[in-house]
Amino acid sequence: MYLAKIHFWLAGVAEGYREFFQGIAPMERFEHQFFTLGAMEELQKDISPSVKCVLIVDDKAGFSVEELQSVAGKVKVVYCIERVDLLSEEILSLVDYLWSMPLTPALLQFHFKKLQQLLKLEKDLWLTETYLDNTIDPVPDLIWYKDIRGAHLKVNDAFCKVVDKTKEDIAGRGHCYIWGLTPEEYAQGEYVCMETEEEVIQKGTTCLFDEQVKTSEGMRFLLTYKTPIRDEDGSIIGTVGMARDVTKEREYQQKILEMAQQDALTGLSNRRYMETFVKERLEQGDVQQQTFIYFDLDHFKAVNDTFGHAMGDRVLVGVAAHMKEAFQDALLVRLGGDEFLAVMFEQVSVENVCKRIEEFIDKLQNYFEKCLDIHYISTSAGVVVGDGNATMDEMMRKSDVALYVAKNAGRACCRVYDPSMEQDGNPIK
């Protein structure tokens, strides 16, 4: 994958070292060149990203501490000395390797090969880190590595973008700082699932979680994979996580669900959702009473014929808004056209329900006349009260019967179902 060029600069070492080192073959993917150093400026000019420079210098070469400081950290410094015990701490802080002189040919070869191996390890480490960075940074998902304490060791570009911090700023920090949480939010665990890290460590296997975090752009929903990182002995020393931001997907799913459950015009539940909801509620077996209120607008067709469908839509939206205000304890449904339904499962008295319906009819009448300037439209309602054994179809039919009785009674009123209403068959609208 790579070709590493190494320039060895020899300063003050014994004659023949250069030829000796040249006789040792470079390691795979390495290329060596050797130079004799007269002045430190020569080495400084050779330093570049494309070449790795190594200075093998004998203490007898006479380079000062300041001269060594000028290249320390930029090149690898191998310091050769007979009395290692005489080295100052200052010199020791500037060198990478020490060779205790004199060296036999066998030791010299040993040390040089070890130096080659270390250079190769460094290059291979660089390559591995480059592989990793070029693998995780282009990925749009968030990727991070943590130690066993939960401190972040490495993250990708997507992670930095979401938390609006640099990799250097994130390194070694925990959730509270990285995500900008207050201590109270962090303690409550409201905006980040801290328990999941512990769960992964306890289970010792990859786990999938739904998490949400607080960001500068608001709450984000994440689909997160977390897996343990193990030491050579198998013990867990940290975790690696990958999170996909599914906020948009969840919003789309919610929108689709709402479209499937709601009437697009009024925002009330639709008939399909009502049927599912009522059946599930009845199957639970805890329903003691159910009340169905069937509403129908009087003379609604005339509104569309006279003012157009835009006005008709305004009427329907207004009805829905008033229903939400008047029947907050009910499931509110637009069955279709100008037909609406309110379903309640709480214990209520018929008298109270009728009073609420009459107030609703009056307020709606006032809305039609004063806000829409329509004086001939009104609302009729049919009510039926049943127990938990009554089927939904039965409740719907009986409330419909009561509704038509209300219409035949002069409209703009409500009627409560009674079996006697069906003695002569269903009333005709």
Pairing of strands 76-81, 218-230: unpaired
Cα 373–chain centre separation:
50
CATH superfamily of this structure's domain 4-135: Response regulator (3.40.50.2300)
- The CA–CA distances, whole Å, from 336 to 140, 265, 271, 374, 404 equal 44, 11, 8, 22, 17
CATH superfamily of this structure's domain 142-250: PAS domain (3.30.450.20)
Structural contact between residues 325 and 340, judged by C-beta atoms closer than 8 angstroms: no
Determine the 3-state secondary structure of 212 from DSSP. Answer: strand
Q: Where are the domains of the chain?
A: 4-135, 142-250, 262-422
Determine the 3-state secondary structure of 207 from DSSP. Answer: strand
pLDDT in tens, the chain (429 residues): 789 999 999 999 988 899 999 999 999 999 999 999 999 999 999 999 999 999 999 999 989 999 999 999 999 999 999 988 888 999 999 999 999 999 999 999 999 999 999 999 999 999 999 999 999 999 999 999 999 988 999 999 999 998 999 999 999 998 878 887 776 666 665 545 567 888 999 999 999 998 887 776 777 888 999 999 999 999 999 999 999 988 888 778 777 777 788 998 999 999 999 999 999 999 998 899 999 999 999 999 999 999 999 999 999 999 999 999 999 999 999 999 999 999 999 999 999 999 999 999 999 999 999 988 898 999 999 999 999 899 999 999 999 999 999 999 999 999 999 999 987 555 444
- The CA–CA distances, whole Å, from 41 to 12, 45, 191, 199 equal 16, 6, 57, 58
Neighbouring CB atoms inside 10 A of 327's CB total 19
The candidate with the shortest Cα–Cα distance to 416, out of 380, 392, 385, is 385
- Residues whose CB falls within 8 Å of the CB of residue 392, separated by 6 or more in sequence, listed in order: 275, 278, 279, 282
Quick one: which H or E segment has residue 124? helix 105-136
Hunting for tokens 């003050």 — which residue is that?
A: 12
pTM: 0.62
Q: How far apart are CA 245 and CA 162, in angstroms?
A: 10
Q: How far apart are CA 371 and CA 60, in angstroms?
A: 103
User: Which residues in 38-163 belong to E strands, given as ranges?
Assistant: 52-58, 76-81, 97-100, 142-147, 152-155
Q: CATH second-level architecture of 262-422?
A: 2-Layer Sandwich (3.30)
Structural contact between residues 346 and 298, judged by C-beta atoms closer than 8 angstroms: no
